[in-house]
Structure 1
Amino acid sequence: MKHSIVALGAAAILALSLSACGASVSSDNKGPSESQAAVEPATKTTPTPEAAAKSPRGNTIKQIGEPAFWKDSDSVPDSEAEGKFTVTEVKDVVCDQPYASPPTNGKIIGLTVDVETTPKLAESPMKQVFLSPMSFKFIAPNGTTFNGNLSSGATYSCIDNSLNLPSSFGPAEKAHGVILLDVPAGGGILTIGSVEWSLP
């Protein structure tokens, strides 16, 4: 009789041990609980804006169609911008006016430009900005700065005056027109302020 009681007791202990072990095994096979999953923070990555390409001169390199800004002649927050101008096209120009004269420096190119100023310009001391052939500088492919005048007699008698871009702008104005430049042939760099464009 004692042997039977001991055997039953041992069997009961063994059964309890197995059931506890089974519960532990089944628990280990489960993934993280819903409460654990909810605690893990979701990670979000914010893309870092690419820095504007700089030339050996430290200027911001602009592509045709990219806006440039008068304030520091570079990209600034819209809330601080006094205005922007966008060179939308650069091409060689064939003069068609009766008193047209040959280019002095090599060839005449036309910059098609869109201008837009903001009300912020009214807060500046000058209350206007300027953009004309005199605003630009030409640098040859070998890095030599051109000494001549980009605004020659040929640029004044080349196309109809109604196509020319005005040279000064006040607050909250828009304009569209062409700036003619008499530049050396064979490509080069056109700069204004701290921005520049490569010419074909």
Structure 2
Amino acid sequence: MRGIIRMKKSLPWLALITVLGFSLTGCSKAPEAAQAPPAPVVESIAGTPSTSPSPSEGPKKSPRGNFIKAPGETGSMWTGADKKTTVVFTIHSITVDAPCTGAYAQPAEKGHFVVLDASIETTPELAESSFARFDLSPHSWQFVGENGTTFNGSLASGASYGCMTDSEILPINGVGPAEKVTGKIVLDVPAATGTLVFKPLGGSVGGWEWSF
């Protein structure tokens, strides 16, 4: 099952953003102005992005317009008319108040550490995109409380970055083409229960979310 999100083309300052769009060039005897890359497409899938599901088979969405996911389910991104997959990612588990292992670990600044075990696999086609890196950075996440209120602050903090050792966390600079990585994401959240929302940096109009 999969759903499709159209992403806006606003590009934030972070180099490790997730905007996946191919640059097109024209072939002509006369010089041609460079064309803007087409709007990239994000797809949440449980298989391959070969066909579009019927409305009755589409993935469940939250009232916020995000795909509702459970640990172990897969999401992906693709681009182009031929729907070449560029990124596949999975949140395997969500652990609340996980113990820190860093040498200089400190208590959570906002209340609780939530640790996600994740994996990311990219294809060579990612190199053809305008921004050839994918990232599950804490800056790309939001927390929604059980009362439906979205936390205004960042889920990244000095304490969250120091909670785990460098060898345990996902690469801080994101993942490039044809790479496969596993690691942890540490989020600093204000409550022990709620919903985590991942929205790729770059102006996505939707995302994915996990309740815990």
TM-score w.r.t. the length of structure 2 is 0.65
Residue 114 (structure 2) aligns with = 109
The residue that corresponds to 1:59 in the other structure is 66
1:69 to 71, 76, 88: 76
Which has the greater radius of gyration? 1
SS of 1:162's equivalent in the other structure is coil
Q: Which amino acid aligns with 1:85?
A: F
Q: How does 1:16-55 map to 2 (within 5 A)?
A: 50-55=57-62
In structure 2, the residue matched to 1:197 is 210
- Residue 176 (structure 1) aligned with residue 189 (structure 2): no
Query: Which residue of structure 2 lines up, in the alignment, with residue 165 of structure 1?
Result: 170
SS at match of 2:84: coil
1:163 match: secondary structure:
coil
Measured after TM superposition, the shift of residue 89 of structure 1 is 0.9
CA distance in 1, matches of 2:194, 2:64: 14
Deviation at 1:61, TM superposition (A): 0.3
CA RMSD of aligned residues (A): 2.4
Shift of the 62–117 alpha-carbon distance from structure 1 to 2, 3 Å rule, reads same
**Separation (CA, whole Å) in 2 of partners of 1:78 and 1:111:** 32
* Consecutive unaligned residues in structure 1, runs of 5 or more: 1-46
SS of match in other structure, 2:186: strand
Question: Does residue 96 of the first structure (1) align with residue 101 of the second (2)?
Answer: yes
What displacement does 1:133 show? 0.7
- The runs of 5 or more residues in structure 2 that have no matched partner are 1-52, 200-206
Distance 1:196 1:166 in 2: 22
Superposed CA offset, 1:31-62 (max 9, x none): xxxxxxxxxxxxxxxx9772211111111101
Shift of 1:116: 0.3
Contact preservation (8 Å) 2:170, 2:184: yes
> Match of 2:99, SS?
coil
> Residue 127 of structure 1: CA displacement?
1.7
Aligned to 2:191: 185
Partners of 2:209 and 2:81 lie apart in 1 by 20
Equivalent pairs counted in the alignment come to 150
Instruction: State the 1:159 CA deviation.
Output: 1.9
Bigger helix share: 1
Q: Relative contact order (C-alpha < 8 Å, sep 6+): which is higher?
A: 2
| Residue 186 of structure 1, CA deviation | 3.1
**Which of 107, 123, 133 is matched with 2:138 structurally?**
133
1:17 aligned residue: none
